[in-house]
Amino acid sequence: MPHDVMAAPTTADLVQALLDSPPPAPQVSEIGRVTEVGDGIAIVSGLARALADELLEFASGVRGIVFDLEPGRLGVVLLGPSEQVSPGEDVRRTGRVVSVPVGPALLGRVVDAMGHPLDEQGPVDTATLAPIEAEAPDILHRTAVARPLATGLKAVDAAVPVGLGQRELIIGDRQTGKTSIAVDTILNQKDTGVICIYCAIGQRGDAVAKVIGALRDGDMMGQSVIISAGDEDAPGLAYIAPYAAMSVAESFAARGRDVLVIMDDLTHHAHAYRELSLLLRRPPGREAFPGDIFYVHARLLERAGQFTEGHGSITALPVVETQAENLSAYIPTNLISITDGQIYLSPRLVRTNQFPAVDLGVSVSRVGGKAQSRAFREVAGNLRVTLSQFEELEEFARFGTRLDDDTRARLARGAAVRTALRQPERDPMPANEQLAVLVAAMEGLLDGMNEGQAVAAMTAIRAGVRADDRGIAALIAEDEKLTDEGRADIVTAAREAISQMEKADGPDA
């Protein structure tokens, strides 16, 4: 055998090398025990070093969040079915907080609050995770709201405008059209490049399916993310869902994108938090909500805004449900004080078939007016005055008193303006068409028409604007004032469109 060839090591050499190597470092693993299980919560003992908000893993595979830290006892919120957890089973620390997948791979997907797919399209193709809790950007990293977010709804864009980076509350009783306004706002972002995130909290499965169907019909799913924590899911998932949605939004905003987040709705979110808190024996306060419920929503919505770093923005449209028009309830008043205004949907208007049922007397936008174009701003001012005067006169006219000609004219004008604000679902309107219809109504072109005639006239005006814009879109885009000549030009075009419609319909129409 040549001398330069080394002999293969023998078994004795391998054993000796193993004995001479340093021993492996000991690994310490804390193991706790489940002492009590409730509906959505568990009490764990034996994890003395666990941290607040840490993610725990149960032997059954269910995960939970450390909510309460007490001597010898942990209150844990379960993120899975509590039926799968049994007293006495092992619990291990993970050393990390709850995180969700983020990034462009989520576009077009339907996921749960943990980022697990619900749409049968396979796993989400991203390795980037972000914690659901994050500090809100400080004032130095924010800038003023200065760009509009068009909803496509005349009543909102004209009188209650929303700006990119704003937090605008959508509030009203059940079945008043709150979700419809949110979905129409998403559909109107088709050509704007705004990323839309719809977070369903405690909603029925068929309601979420309708929203998904509307976004698919409107060709907006590829620009949207659906995060769903249904009413059949654990209350812990409903609690973390809006925070997960905000983390996904922050990942897009960090890339310089504008993001719209719909939280539908925070009433169910507050109920889930109240349920978990009472089960964990936290002291109840007003309406049995714990004392930190304001902070729960404040730290969530403060993460929205118009940012300077990356120039992205997060616009939040939280939804809250009232009972019997009680705006002074605990959760609605909390959210009204946190947000930058509210769009109030009135059951009274619903009963009169006024959709969207936006009550302009109660609705307000505190910062959106700065982002509204000047042309819309000029129309909006007279719009509110006309409607408020009309409602007062309408109440007075019901007594059957004789009215003079001036009062009758103002009633006719107010009725025409109210009819002009009506708009069917899933039909968001471009800004130039909105302005033309509103100017036509304010100038009296719809006075004296019944509802059918007014709808036909507005359809004709919209068609006329699509055929010949006459510079309205440029006027809005360049934030120019609506001059008397421009207003007269719009009125002339609207009158021509109505005249052509009447000729086409014939004298018997």
For residue 195, count other CB atoms closer than 10 A to its CB.
Answer: 25
Tell me whether residue 299 is annotated as binding: no
Beta strands in 185-300 (DSSP E): 195-201, 224-229, 258-264
DSSP 454-476: HHHHHHHHHHHHHH--TTHHHHH
For the question of residue 377 being annotated catalytic, the response is no
Q: What is the DSSP code (8-state) at residue 24?
A: P
- C-beta separation of 31 from 58 below 8 A: no
For residue 341, which of 167, 490, 147 has the smallest C-alpha distance?
167
For residue 56, count other CB atoms closer than 10 A to its CB.
Answer: 23
Tell me whether residue 174 is annotated as binding: yes
Q: What is the DSSP code (8-state) at residue 46?
A: S
For residue 456, count other CB atoms closer than 10 A to its CB.
Answer: 16
Tell me whether residue 179 is annotated as binding: yes
Q: 457 Cβ partners below 8 Å, 6+ apart?
A: 440, 445, 446, 449, 497, 498, 501
Q: End-to-end CA distance of the chain, in Å?
A: 113
* Alpha-carbon torsion, ordered 183, 155, 473, 186, to 10 deg: -10
Tell me whether residue 210 is annotated as binding: no
Tell me whether residue 157 is annotated as binding: no
Q: What is the DSSP code (8-state) at residue 383?
A: H
What interhelical angle do 484-505 and 431-442 show, nearest 10? Answer: 90
Tell me whether residue 176 is annotated as binding: yes
Q: Which of 33, 73, 147, 366 is catalytic?
A: 366
Q: How far apart are the C-alpha atoms of 292 and 295, rounded to whole Å?
A: 5
* Alpha-carbon torsion, ordered 317, 322, 328, 334, to 10 deg: -40
Backbone angles phi, psi at 135, to 5 degrees: -70, 140
Binding residue positions for ATP = 172-179
Q: Which residues are catalytic?
A: 366
Binding residue positions = 172-179
